[in-house]
A and B are shown apart, each in its own frame.
Chain A
Amino acid sequence: MSNKKNILDHIKPAKIKVPDEDFFTSLATKVTDTYPKVKATKKKGVTRFLYFGYAAAAILVIGFILFQQFNAPTPQVKTAESYLAEVSTSQILEYIDAHIENYSDDEIIEIASIILTEDNEFMGDGSFLPSDIEQADIEQYINEEYINLNEFEEDELLIF
């Protein structure tokens, strides 16, 4: 028996019967249905230009805000007057009623002057007192309390 020929020449592969075209078509459909790929859309020129415009505008706005933040004026130290301005008049009066004994006459007058100059509600008709108090009631009050008007300076009497 001769062995001169290549051994592979004595082995004949059989032709493999492959499925028909329909099998591969349906296989492809099965794969693409199971793992769908959404079409990658290209942005049109105008749309892309608009996006660039929006991006540029956003950058400008952010830049402006940052500029404002870095250039904001340094907050000033609040004075006693400005703190008082944030408190309502009724709150001040309630506090004074509760702590009247702790204040000197000068301090009370100072607080009253702040109220008079900053709260128009009490300055309406030029009188410190509510409008429903009659002149006669005031005179009666002065007489009952033995208040001597001659003890007051001229500007202090303006409240009456």
Chain B
Amino acid sequence: MKEQDQKWRDAIVQGGPEAEKAFSELSVFYGPKLYAQVFKILKTDNITKDVLQDVFIKIWLNIEQFQGKSSFYSWIFRIAHNEAISTFNREKRKAAISLDHELIEILPGHSSLEGQNPDQILGLLNEATNTLPKKQALVFELKYFQNLSYKEIQEITGTSQGALKASFHLAKEKISTFLSIKLNLLT
């Protein structure tokens, strides 16, 4: 676990005003990344904010249980992912989730993508990401969707940049294969 994450965790476990201060700092640091992660799945600002509130409640109430065996961000990433998927499955039964704006742009040059709906492609990307191991899914999210540098991802996850590159390469290959199969089946 990163030194800063450890400090935040210890302060929050102790309780009192120091805990509130640490939690505020943690929220400002990780909040934008979690928002982007959840928004990509739910596509709506209001629902994303509601889910994010639930995510931060879980972090605040359960941080004592985090033992530091993985990176702190891996832990909160998993909480956010589970909350987002759970909400997505619940909401899509009520009505189709409206898209505030397109979250991906399809560039010309690949026959399988010709004439495809960006929203449908995004759905397939989310589906493909769910098939990845936890660590690969996290790296893919941060590198591909949030466009962070390997150095930034290293600071968050504590994994070496070489291992991150290998992980991202494997994730990308798996998702490409998944998309190709799905799109060829669709056409």
Residue of A nearest to B177 (CB): A7
Tell whether A21 is near chain B: CB-to-CB under 8 Å.
Answer: yes
For A31, list chain B residues within 8 Å (CB): 23, 53, 56-57, 60
**Contact call B176/A8, Cβ cutoff below 8 A:** yes
Bound together, the chains give a CA A28 to CA B14 distance in angstroms of 17
Q: Contact at B179–A27, with CB atoms within 8 Å?
A: no
Contact A38:B15 (CB < 8 A) given known A7-B110, A12-B104, A32-B23: yes
A39 and B112 contacting across the interface, CB-CB below 8 Å: no
A27 cross-chain contacts in B, Cβ below 8 A = 27, 31, 49, 52-53, 56
How far is it, in angstroms, between the C-alpha of A5 and the C-alpha of B108 when the chains are bound? Answer: 12
Task: Please tell me the size bucket of the interface on B.
Answer: 35 or more
Interface string of A10-44 (1 = CB under 8 A from B): 11111110110101110111111011011110000
Q: Is B40's CB within 8 Å of the partner chain A?
A: yes
Q: Kindly state whether residue B6 has any CB partner on chain A within 8 Å.
A: no
With A1-B109, A7-B179 known to touch, is A28 a contact of B103 (CB < 8 Å)?
Answer: no
Do A28 and B24 touch across chains, with their CB atoms under 8 A apart? Answer: yes
Chain A contacts for B105, CB-based, 8 A = 11-14
B76 CB within 8 Å of chain A: no
Q: Known: A7-B176, A7-B180, A13-B103. Is A18-B56 also a contact (CB below 8 A)? A: no
Q: Known: A6-B176, A28-B56, A37-B19. Contact between A11 and B107, CB under 8 A?
A: yes
User: Judging by beta carbons under 8 Å apart, are B175 and A25 in contact?
Assistant: no
CB within 8 Å for A32 and B111 given contacts A12-B104, A39-B14: no
Given contacts A7-B110, A11-B125, A27-B31, contact A37 B53 (CB under 8 A): no
Task: Kindly state the separation between the CA atoms of A38 and B18 in the bound complex, as whole angstroms.
Answer: 11
| In the bound complex, CA of A113 to CA of B36 (Å) | 106
In contact, B107 and A12 (Cβ under 8 angstroms):
yes
- Chain B 8-39 residues near chain A, CB threshold 8 A: 12-20, 23-24, 26-28, 31-32, 35-36, 39
Within the complex, the shortest CB–CB distance from B62 to chain A, in Å, comes to 11
Measured between beta carbons, the chain B residues less than 8 angstroms from A40 are 13-15
B131 at the interface (CB under 8 A from A): no
Cβ contact within 8 Å between A28 and B35: no
Q: Does B144 contact A (CB under 8 A)?
A: yes
At the interface, yes or no: A3 with Cβ under 8 Å from chain B? yes
Which residues on A are within 8 Å of B, measured CB to CB?
1-3, 5-16, 18-19, 21, 23-25, 27-32, 34-35, 37-40
22 A–B pairs (Cβ distance < 8 Å), ordered by A: A1-B111, A3-B112, A5-B109, A8-B179, A11-B104, A11-B113, A12-B105, A12-B106, A13-B145, A16-B40, A16-B103, A18-B35, A24-B31, A24-B32, A25-B28, A28-B20, A29-B24, A31-B56, A32-B23, A34-B57, A35-B57, A37-B15
